């Protein structure tokens, strides 16, 4: 079972960038499909981005397409979410997720989750 720990969140201004990290332990992530989702205050969880185990396929929510990039470093057993041109509506707790079998845009189909990291974007 993969254990996931997110880091890199913080308070930034609109237009700034942040890079979130998701470090895995217990299992190597090289055979897992990875994803990020987020939950804003008072709202439901929302899928943000996914990356196939091979690293060759990605999927993004329309709201972040062109601004966010998901990537992985299998040697470090870590997945990243580079977030550029942040907007106040990106404010949320961001969660990392993994699945051995599912790759796609439905966050609830991922099996393993981290505890989340807070991202706050001020206007």
Model pLDDT for residues 33-49, shown as the tens digit of each residue: 999 999 999 999 999 99
Q: What is the pLDDT of residue 116?
A: 97
pLDDT in tens, 68-77: 999 999 999 9
Instruction: Count Cβ atoms below 10 Å from residue 117 Cβ, excluding itself.
Output: 22
Q: What percent of the chain stands above pLDDT 70? A: 98
Here the tokens at position 83 are 């977030």
Q: Say if CB 74 and CB 66 are below 8 A apart.
A: no
């Amino acid at each position: 079972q993969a254990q996931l720990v997110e880091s890199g969140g913080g308070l930034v201004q609109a237009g700034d960038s942040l890079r979130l990290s998701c470090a895995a332990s217990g299992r190597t992530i090289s055979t897992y499909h990875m994803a990020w989702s987020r939950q804003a205050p008072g709202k439901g969880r929302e899928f943000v981005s996914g990356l196939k185990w091979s690293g060759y396929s990605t999927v993004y929510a329309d709201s972040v397409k062109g601004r966010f990039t998901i990537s992985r470093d299998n040697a470090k057993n870590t997945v990243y979410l580079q977030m550029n041109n942040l907007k106040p509506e990106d404010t949320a707790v961001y969660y990392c997720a993994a699945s051995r079998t599912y790759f796609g845009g439905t966050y609830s189909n991922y099996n393993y989750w981290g505890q989340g990291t807070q991202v706050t974007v001020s206007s």
